[in-house]
Every structure is written in C-alpha cells, then in structure tokens.
Amino acid sequence: MPHALFLDELISTLGAEVAQRGDDVPERYHTDWSGTPPQRPLALVRPRSTDEVSALMRLCTAHRVPVVPQGGLTGLAGAAVPVAGAVAVSMERMNAIEDVNARTALMTVQAGATLQAVQEAAVAAGMVFGVDLGARGSCQIGGNVATNAGGNGVLQHGMMREQVLGLEVVLADGTVLPMLRPMLKNNTGYDLKQFFIGSEGTLGIVTRVLLRLRPAPQARATALVAVPDFDAALSVLARMQSRFGNGVAAFELMWDSFIQASIRWQKLQPPFGQAHALLALIDVDGKDEATLRADVEEALGEAMEAGEVADAVIAQSVAQARQLWKLREAPAELNTNMHPPVNFDVSLPQADIGRFADACRAAFDARWPGHHSLFFGHVGDGNLHVSVDGATANGDCEGVEAALYHLVGEFGGSVSAEHGIGLHKKPYLGASRTPAELAVMRAIKQALDPLHLFNPGKVFDL
C-alpha cells in the first residue's frame, strides 16, 4: 500500500470531515459531464479555506501525490475526471460571495461559488456578470476561470478572461499567490493570473476570484429570427450591430436539425407555422423597453425587405423571452437523447461557418448515410457547436472526430473555442497549436509545477 502513509497523514492533517479515502468517495466525483469513463480517486478533499488547500498541496508535494481540481463537474472535455492514484480536490465548500461593490463594479468570491450564485449576487447589487452558460446552476467560478468559459455573453463582454481582475491561486508546493489587486491597470511585469485562466487545473488551484461586473441593461429585447441561409444570418448580425453597436448581447444560430431535436426533446411548441433552415436568437440591450422593441422591430422589418429575414417574433415579456431561449437549451438533453453524443466546440473564421457546417454534414453522410447531427452555436463570435449521435455513425465516435477535425484544419479553425482540451481533445491539440507554442506551454508547466502534480495527463503529455 504505497499510499497508506500519505492517506493517514492527509486525514490527520485535514480531518475526516475534509478528506475521505477513495473507497468512501461518492460516485458523483468519479467523472464529469463529458461522459468519460468514471475513475475512483485515491482520496477526495473538500477544503473550506485557502489554508487547507495550501496544507493539502504541501503534503502532496512531500509525498509526490498528484491532484485533480474539481469544480461543478460540468466540463465537456473530461478535464476534471479523477486520475488513478490522484487526490480529487472539490472546491464546492469554498462557495462564499465575499464582497459585492456596485460602485467599483467588483465582486470577490471563493472559487466554489456557482456561476448562478455570482449572477444573482450581481443582479441584487443592480449590476450583471458578463458570462452566462447553460450549466450556470452547477458550474463554479473556479471552473469557469480554469476553462476560460465563454457562453452566451461573449459578443458583448468577452470570455471569462475579460471578467477576471484578480485571482488567488495555490501552487504545487502550497505557496499562495495573492493576485487580488483591484486595479485595471498594472503593468508590472508578467500578468501572472493569465497563466491560470484557461489552464484546466494543470498549473494551480484557484481559490478566490476578483470579478468585474457590468452595468445592468435598462431594457432588453429578445427576437427569434428565421433566416433563409447562413450569409443572410451574417447580414442580419451586421445590420443589428451597425444599428445597436455593443447593445447586441447575443447572436445564437440554430440549424434545422437542432431546432427539431430541441422541440422534440423539450416538448416545445414550434415557434413558427413552418420549419426554417436556420433560426437566430438575438438579444439586444438598450435604455427603454418599448422604444427598444420598436427599434428592433424596425431593424428586422428592414432586414425582411432586404430578403435577409423570412419570419421573426419579438418577445413581449421576460417570460416570453425565456420561452424563446428554451429552444437553445437542448444541449442539456444531449446525454439523454444521443447514444453517445459526440460533441464539438470549434471556432472558425466567421464567414466560413455555414460552408463548414455543410461540409461536415456531407462528410458524415457520405460515410454514415442517415446519420443524426446537430449544428448550433454562438455564431456571433465565430463559435460553432456540433453534436453527432454516435449510434447513427455505427458507434464510430473516433471516426466522427477525425472527420470533423480534419475539416477544422482545412478551414483554419480551432479544435476548442471554449470547452478546453482536457482528455477528449488532447490528440487534436497539435491541429490548432504549432510545435513552438506547445514547447512554451510545456516550459510554463515545468516552471510552475516541476513535479507534474496538477491534473496529470490532461491537455498535453509532458
């Protein structure tokens, strides 16, 4: 039992309430949302403070025991799945909203606070938080930082990186890096916090986060717009941005197969009397509800006259807006309805997304006639999601991945727009990063985690 001494010391240092042996770890900590086969960790640690995280890491360094940081386990790349012989570190108990200041537009939270708790605290202070995504009720701010999460608000506010003003991070040897300075400008050498944003738990454990808040929009209009083809969708986006500027808060595009699946899986009413090739879900922020709605209606009317829009509905209430957004929430149903879903999160030059979707469908159909695939995404920022039902591709999930990533390479795109690399996209990282870039990544890893204790085997091999 090579780990027996370590486990005894772990439990005597942190206490049985914080540290559990592997045999006692509930199954929900064995895997994440990605469908990666479960793995029991050596132990589970659920720290209550930065000091406890630091004590854990000192012990892990002394015993050369690796750790896998875990947030809300909603990740779609398998990055938080335990590794054999490693300690899983769940941040769920460090979930305090420590400070919200509407005057400075800043919030300090512990890493285990859920995204939804952060959003609600911001709204209670008359502000908003700039990141939103479907897993908001479960995913944690620490996980959002570690994956540099994107989601629905990127068009207006940027990704998670743009919302983070400061971080507190625990390094492999237990050192605490207190980088929580409430200043936008700070050109004093390397911006160290940026290394940890998007590092997928491979460089340190994020324990606290200083977040930027945004002014709450006074009014929001939501429209669901049927467009005849992809180029028309881009014309509508350009039209809306030229009229409403940064007020265009979301531009989500859904292809017909996604729309039909969403209606079926969620038992929704079809939004229009007839099916359309593409639907765009558009949020626009402004000052006054009635004026904004009228302006959006006018803009869409002009788009209709120009042949860019076939049909449109503008929500007349918050409840109706939520109902329209429900159509976009089908991804939460993927695991139940696809066997298994083969999920993609690619980014592409925006103008090429329509052609890319057509090329994927054609490539899949040539190999697996009658296959079932869904196309949808945050197209306003160049991000396309694709889900293929593995069962309809004869279970050849690897073949589906190889075919799609081959096309990503041909179109000059990225294999991960926002979900990260984790385990699932590791074989394809080289398609989006040059050998020189990978060498720098490895050098950073070596400098910050010389014993390779953090999340071994994730993102890249050393």
Asked if 163 touches ligand FAD (CB under 6 A), the answer is no
- Identify which of residues 147 and 296 has a Cβ nearer to ligand FAD in the complex: 147
- Identify which of residues 138 and 323 has a Cβ nearer to ligand FAD in the complex: 138
C-alpha angle 215-417-344 in degrees, rounded to nearest 5? 125
- Identify which of residues 285 and 345 has a Cβ nearer to ligand FAD in the complex: 345
From the list 285, 204, 213, 208, the residue with the least C-alpha distance to 244 is 285
The CB-of-70 to ligand FAD minimum distance in angstroms stands at: 5
Among 66, 151, 153, 382, binds ligand FAD (CB under 6 A): 151
From the list 170, 139, 133, the residue with the least C-alpha distance to 53 is 170
* 37 Cβ contact partners less than 8 Å away, ≥ 6 residues apart: 31
- Identify which of residues 72 and 382 has a Cβ nearer to ligand FAD in the complex: 72
Q: What is the DSSP string of 20-52?
A: EEGGGS-GGGS--TT-PPP---SEEE--SSHHH
C-alpha 284/C-alpha 156 separation (Å) is 10
Largest CA distance in the chain: 75
Which two tokens mark 229?
Answer: 């083809």
The CB-of-187 to ligand FAD minimum distance in angstroms stands at: 26
Which two tokens mark 378?
Answer: 């945050």
Stretch that binds ligand FAD, among 74-82, 257-265, 278-286, 288-296 (CB under 6 A): 74-82
The CB-of-1 to ligand FAD minimum distance in angstroms stands at: 26
Query: Segment 50-69, which members bind ligand FAD (CB under 6 A)?
Result: 68-69
Stretch that binds ligand FAD, among 128-136, 227-235, 248-256, 273-281 (CB under 6 A): 128-136
Query: Segment 428-457, which members bind ligand FAD (CB under 6 A)?
Result: 455
Query: Segment 387-426, which members bind ligand FAD (CB under 6 A)?
Result: 418-419
Q: Are 457 and 445 in contact (CB under 8 A)?
A: no
Among 35, 41, 331, 457, binds ligand FAD (CB under 6 A): 331
Q: What is the DSSP string of 130-162?
A: S---TTTTT-BHHHHHHHT---TTHHHH-SHHH
Among 22, 35, 47, 75, binds ligand FAD (CB under 6 A): 75
Q: Are 150 and 416 in contact (CB under 8 A)?
A: no
Sign of the alpha-carbon torsion through 389, 414, 461, 7: negative
Among 192, 275, 318, 332, binds ligand FAD (CB under 6 A): 332
Asked if 382 touches ligand FAD (CB under 6 A), the answer is no
Asked if 343 touches ligand FAD (CB under 6 A), the answer is no
Positions touching ligand FAD (CB under 6 A) are 32-33, 68-76, 79-80, 91, 111, 133-135, 139-140, 142-144, 146-147, 149-151, 200-201, 205-206, 331-332, 418-419, 455
